[in-house]
Amino acid sequence: MNKGILNGIAAYALWGFFPIYWKLLHEVPALQVIGHRIGWSFILLIAYILFTRQWQDFRSAAIAAKTIAIYSIAAVLLSINWLVYVWGVNSGFIVETSLGYFINPLLSVLLGVIFLRERLRLAQWVPVALAAAGVTYLTIVYGRPPWIALSLAFTFGFYGFVKKLAPLGSLYGLTLETAIVFPVALIYLAATEFNGTGAFLHQGSFIDVVLIGAGAVTTIPLLMFATAAKQIPLTVIGLLQYIAPTIQFLIGVFVYKEPFDQTHLIGFAIVWVALIIFWLENFFSNRIAVQPIPELGED
């Protein structure tokens, strides 16, 4: 197994175990957790760029009005995604958060059709329709739309859509995104400290270490993923991306004992079947596309 696949598996596995990490901060308000995640991620990313002597390259690539505008939108979407995810995990909705990342690839395809005028093959409409049916079924079962899953899918889907228009790589991109929202996070955390509601330095050294570590758990899998993306085909990445929500789902059901009965299983199964069809259709279509055309005289 090559290093690219190992890095990809490691990145998605780390993302999959995120619920356990954020559960350590269940007593800290989600907004404060995100403030620290943004802050410490920015500090760590800038330190990495300075240590690897990439500051001049980063600065010249990032300081442009259009680039900053694009990444400002991306930063807002990513911050909302992080907030909903952490709140969902610590409110006992890990299973529903996993659903958001299961349906995200199909939603991304749909956004491409709507906004980029991409055309789907007939067989690709089947999984999209199945996923919609699965979400509709779960809405009936829950008695409400699975808004946590949908919020995560839509924010991350639009985030991916914006990133398609963005000029920077993943490292520089996340650094700029966190830099844009860093002042807001800093002001908010300073305000919580001023009014006496801040958790940092007030709830014990363990909480302080975990809050600071939020920067590392954000950036390490990102750097692993960036390395993997350069070394393995997109089709392999497409398959590996389901590692994270699968681990999250299993953690929610078997570790934290979240409610998951037969009625929920039916809805999730519909979505899983949609994903299997979606991946198989892409796999065989790509194989046909790269099949060499026989030259004259060949069988």
pLDDT band at 270 (very low <50, low <70, confident <90, very high): very high
Amino acid found at 199: A
Interval 154-166: pLDDT, tens: 998 898 888 888 8
Give the residue extent of every domain in the chain: 3-284
Which residue bears the tokens 């009625």? 263
pLDDT band at 214 (very low <50, low <70, confident <90, very high): very high
Average pLDDT along the chain: 89
Q: How is residue 176 written in tokens?
A: 């700029």
Q: Is 60 exceeded by the pLDDT of residue 298?
A: no
Q: Is 50 exceeded by the pLDDT of residue 289?
A: yes
Mean per-residue pLDDT, 117-129: 82
Who contacts 247 (Cβ-Cβ below 8 Å, separation ≥6)?
A: 13, 16, 17
Q: Are 49 and 158 in contact (CB under 8 A)?
A: no
pLDDT band at 203 (very low <50, low <70, confident <90, very high): very high
Task: Name the residue among 24, 67, 269 with its Cα closest to residue 176.
Answer: 67
Number of CB atoms found within 10 A of residue 283's CB: 13
Amino acid found at 15: W
- At residue 5, the pLDDT reads 85
Q: How is residue 213 written in tokens?
A: 């570590």
Q: Is 70 exceeded by the pLDDT of residue 206?
A: yes
Q: What is the DSSP string of 183-242?
A: HHHHHHHHHHHHTT---TTTS-HHHHHHHHHHHHHHHHHHHHHHHHHHHS-HHHHHHHTT
Task: Name the residue among 166, 150, 188 with its Cα closest to residue 37.
Answer: 188
pTM metric for this prediction: 0.88
- At residue 286, the pLDDT reads 67
DSSP-H helix ranges across 25-121: 30-51, 55-62, 65-90, 94-115
- At residue 113, the pLDDT reads 81
- At residue 293, the pLDDT reads 47
Interval 1-40: pLDDT, tens: 578 889 889 999 999 999 999 999 999 999 999 999 999 9
Q: Are 94 and 88 in contact (CB under 8 A)?
A: yes
Helix axes 122-142, 94-115, angle to 10 degrees: 140
Give the best-scoring range by mean pLDDT among 83-87, 169-173, 231-235, 288-292: 83-87
Interval 235-257: pLDDT, tens: 677 778 889 999 999 999 999 99
Between residues 185 and 299, the one the model is more confident about: 185
| Cβ density class 196-208: b for 16+ within 10 Å, e for less | eebbbeeeeeebe
Amino acid found at 65: A
- At residue 299, the pLDDT reads 44
- At residue 292, the pLDDT reads 55
